Amino acid sequence: MPAGDLWMAYRMRWKRRRFLFRIWRKRRQITPVQDRTVLIKPDMILCFVTLRNEMARLPHFLQHYRKLGISHFLIVDNGSDDGTAAYLAAQKDVSLWSTQHSYRLARFGMDWLGWLQWQHGHRHWCLTVDADELLTFPYADSRDLGDLTRHLDARGIMSFGAIMLDMYPKGPIAEVRHDPTKDPLDALAWFDAANYREKIHPVYQNLWIQGGVRDRVFFTARPERAPTLSKVPLVRWHWRHVYVSSTHQMLPRRLNHVFDRADDRRVTGVLLHTKFLPDIMSKSQEELTRRQHFENSSLYADYHQQLAQGPDLWCLQSQRYTGWAQLAALGLMSQGDWDQDDAI
């Protein structure tokens, strides 16, 4: 191995250890509210979430992932005041922790979830998502996460990639009507199909994808600052694993090799992002004060100021969502070598 590669591997190994130590130090910031982790069995697929004030999405979120095969949810509530904590505490397949500490200073919640993954995720397939992300993948209408992870296990694949796809309404966000018990995709039925760009991250080796509606509407002047859309949400966990930046990047770096390469066809998915419900207006207004989702950047302050007005994100090129097969045909997800016969 070239000397430069050896030095980078050494740096990444120490960086991972520093993150693990940081996770251990932050463990006392979360307090158990309802700990049902004794119910976790060795073959269960687990879901890890940090959230705040998500009652507009939670009923469908839990229903969606239960249907996909999640057996237990491990959730950190960061100071909700809309009934979220009480609702989650009453769910028999949820273990709940709470914290009033800074989401931003906990690496946007990843330090808290890292401790829970360290304690409870080892050897499990672990899905780490936000409450506004709904995973879909090839054959998701007939297969579940158990089928998908068996496919990955059979090929010795330890991680699964997905692109985050922003969903939005036709017309101003301020005019959307949404029943919290219903699928948010009923209201957010549209997406950008083609305006995406990608490159390999020079350090972490993940495919770095940007574009979509937020790039088109909010970051035209600074496209390099547009949100990162590529994620590694599903991982066969080991206590030595760690997320670096949200679920965009991981260490060890081999876990970031989740998208198709010339000699390695991988099945991938899409995280349908339901951010643009009407509550984004009040959340953006709050974020301008709390500043927990971004550093002190005037660019992101302008972004939240625009969202607080409930803008119209739809354009003539917008496409209406019809299902996973549409996303595969558009190249936004890959069936890899997981064909229909294999899936069944």
Q: What is the pLDDT of residues 90-120, one digit of tens each?
A: 999 999 999 999 998 999 999 999 999 999 9
Between 341 and 263, where is the model more confident? 263
Please give the helix or strand (H or E) that residue 27 lies within, else none.
none
- Domain with 310, as residue range(s), is 3-343
Q: Say which DSSP state 28 is in.
A: G
Beta-strand ranges (E) seen in 99-158 are 125-128, 133-136
Percentage of the chain beyond pLDDT 70 is 92
Between 310 and 188, where is the model more confident? 188
Tokens encoding 17:
């250890």
pLDDT band at 344 (very low <50, low <70, confident <90, very high): very low
DSSP character string of 52-103:
SS-TTTHHHHHHHHHHHT--EEEEEE-S--SSHHHHHHT-TTEEEEE--S-T
328 three-state secondary structure: helix
Q: How far is CA 65 from CA 41, 119, 131, in A?
A: 18, 22, 11
CB–CB of 268/260 below 8 Å?
A: yes
The label of the residue with tokens 């974020």 reads: 287
- Indicate the pTM of the whole model: 0.94
Average of per-residue pLDDT values in the chain:
92
Check whether 223 has a pLDDT greater than 70.
Answer: yes
Number of domains making up the chain: 1
Q: How far is the C-alpha of 280 from the C-alpha of 207, rounded, in Å?
A: 28
Check whether 290 has a pLDDT greater than 90.
Answer: no
Q: What is the pLDDT of residues 147-199, one digit of tens each?
A: 999 999 999 999 999 999 999 999 999 999 899 889 999 999 999 999 999 99
43 three-state secondary structure: coil
